[in-house]
Structure 1
């Protein structure tokens, strides 16, 4: 049976993900940081986070190491609550309601970027007159 690669944690700060990666590797567990560079380029609008992934067979040992070093895993309810907060205010925007959460966030990011570009553009027009 082939071992799958699974996500055990997700961070939005590169330093935190790198510390956990170093800890696990120092204990002989091979792990990988997915989206590490993408999240640094997109910071602070890091939408997916940096994912720590490893072989499924290594998960129990990794969890023991992390718990022994004081890392607390968020409860599933906490994560669901955070998702509800983000999706709660997007349901008020008609064209976003039916999109998946990831696409809602991307569209909002683009809209905010366009708005800021327009503010800068029109602000430069006003200040040059």
Structure 2
């Protein structure tokens, strides 16, 4: 089991807990995720950050931007938003359920967003879950 947390965010990955081996949390909320949902969240958030990096030199220092991505996350979809400037941004998401599935919605503030993405990106157990998916 791997536990990472800081102010306003939490990531717990326990491959033994099926069908929800991942717990992701924010300020005053937490939700259990399937491996494929968590992997989709990581992929989508990294795509948004890559888009922000590509646009950074086109933005004025005080200019803010909103980027969105929607990825299939069977049996539903996962919508994500990055809002802010290249040096300071925050994230939110909505997991739209399919039939008989739960819906999830959450967000991270400025400091927690960066830390949460770093934890997702560098999580060896999540990499193992991805390899097994």
Shorter-chain TM-score range: under 0.3
What TM-score do you get using the length of structure 1 for normalisation?
0.25
What TM-score do you get using the length of structure 2 for normalisation?
0.24
More helix per residue: 1
More strand per residue: 2
Q: Say which one has the larger Rg.
A: 1
